[in-house]
Amino acid sequence: MSAQPILSASSVARSPRTPPPSKLALLYDIAILILIVIDLTMIGMDLVLMSSFAQTIGGWLGMTSWLEQYALHWHDPVRFIGGLITLFLVAELLLRWVIAIVTKRYLRWFFFPFVHWYEVLGCFPQLRALRLLRAVFIGRKLYQLGYQVLPEKWIEAGRFYYALVLEELSDRVILTATDNLRQQFAGDGTQSRLLSDTFEQNRHALQTTLATVLRAELTPKLKHLASEPIARELAVQVGASVQDALADTPELRRYLRMIPIAGKMIEGELQTISSHIGENLVNSLTARLTDGGFIDPVVEAISDTIAHVDLSHPELEALIATLVDDGLTAFETQIKIQQWKHSEHLDL
C-alpha cells in the first residue's frame, strides 16, 4: 500500500497502532514516488518547451529548429505517456479505495476520498501539480521510517525557506491589520466605543482585581510605615504640640495656681501627661489605620470608584489613545523583526 498522510480525528483507522510496513509496501511507495517525479518532470519540461517563452528564448539562442523537432516528434508521445500515468494513478487510487473499504480502514467507507483529496484532485490533468503532495507524503513517510530520501541539508534548507515564507506572509498580514486598527481608532469614535464596551463588560473583574492588588500592596506598606522612624518622630511632634497647647491655655494655668502648694506640681505633671497623650494618640491611630477592618472598606471604596470612572474625560481619552498608539507601535516594531535573519541556516 502507498503512504498515507496523517489522518484527522474523524478518519482515524480502527486499530490504534499501525503496524510497520513490509518491504514490499516500501518498494511500492518508492516506485510510486519515482513515477510521480518522472511524470511531473515530463509535464514541466513539456509545458516549458511548448510555451511562447521557450520559442522566444530558442530564437535568441538559435534553437528554433530543435524546438520544432520536439513539437513534431516528442510532444505527443510525452502527452500520451502522461495520460497513461494518469490512468494508472486513477486505477491505483480506486483499487486502494476498495481495499480500504474491505479492510475497514476508516470508520466510514466514504472517508477515503476526503483523506486523500489531493490524490483525487491530482487525477485531473489541470491539477496534476497536486500529485507533488503525494510525493511529499511518501517521502515524509520514508524519512520517518529512517530512509534518507533527500540529503539532510536539503531538508533543513526546505524547512528554513518554508518558515521564511510563512513569517514574511504572516508579518504582512499582521502589519496590515494593525494599520487598519490604528486608522479605525483614529476615526469616528471607534476607540471610545470599543474601550467603553470593553470597560463596561469587565467592570466587576476590574474592581475585584484592583481591590486584591491594593489590599496586597497597601496593607504591608502602611504597616511598614508605622514602624519607620518617621512614625516615631510624628508621635513625638504631636505629643509636643499637645504639650504646647496645654501650656498656651491661661485659664488652665490660672485654675491650677488657685490650688495651694500642689498646683505647681500638677501643672508639671500635666505637661508630661500631655506629651504622652499625643504620642499614644498617634500610635493608636496608626494601629487602627493599618488594621484590616479599616483598610478593607477603604480599598473597596477606592476600587469601586476607579472601576466606575467616567471614560468621557478628554484627558483620560487622550491618555488611553496614547497608550493604545504606543502599544501598537511597540507591537509593530516587534513584528518587523525578521527572525529568519537570526537563523543558523543563513549559510545554506
Range of the domain at 110: 9-149
Query: Which sign, positive or negative, has the C-alpha torsion 180, 183, 188, 190?
Result: positive
143 falls within a domain:
yes
C-alpha grid cell, residue 252: 488652665
Neighbouring residues of 216: CB distance < 8 A, sequence distance ≥ 6:
none
pLDDT by position in tens, the chain (length 348): 444 443 343 344 444 445 566 778 778 888 888 888 898 888 888 888 888 888 888 788 878 888 888 888 888 888 899 889 989 999 999 999 999 999 988 888 889 889 888 888 888 878 888 888 888 888 777 777 777 766 778 778 777 887 888 888 888 888 888 887 777 776 666 666 777 777 777 778 877 888 888 777 776 766 666 566 666 666 677 777 776 776 666 666 666 666 665 656 666 666 677 667 766 777 776 666 666 566 677 777 777 777 777 766 677 677 777 777 788 788 878 777 766 666 554 454
Q: Quick one: 144 and 13 in the same domain?
A: yes
Evaluate whether 75 touches 46 at the Cβ level (below 8 Å): yes
Residue where the block lists cell 497536486: 130
Does 74 share its domain with 19?
A: yes
> Do residues 23 and 130 share a domain?
yes
| Domain stop point among 116, 149, 182 | 149
* pLDDT of amino acid 119: 87
* Domain match, 137 and 200 both: no
Residue after which a domain boundary falls, among 114, 149, 184: 149
Query: Is 23 in the same domain as 145?
Result: yes
Q: Which three cell numbers stand for residue 242?
A: 499637645
Any idea of the CA torsion for 53, 57, 58, 60, to the nearest 10 degrees?
140
Dist. CA 128–CA 43, nearest whole Å: 9
Predicted pLDDT of residue 94: 94
User: Is there a single domain that holds both residue 43 and residue 105?
Assistant: yes
Does 164 fall in a domain?
Answer: no
Are residues 306 and 218 both part of a single domain? yes
What DSSP state is assigned to residue 327?
H
Same domain, 142 and 198: no
Pair 204, 279 in one domain: yes
Per-residue pLDDT, 7? 39
**How many distinct structural domains can be found in the chain?**
2
Predicted confidence at residue 12, as pLDDT, reads: 40
Confidence at residue 189, expressed as pLDDT on a 0 to 100 scale: 63
pTM: 0.43
* 3-state secondary structure at position 59: helix
pLDDT of residue 303: 77
Same domain (yes/no): 136, 201: no
Res 248: pLDDT: 66
pLDDT of residue 97: 93
Domain assignment of residue 337, yes or no: no
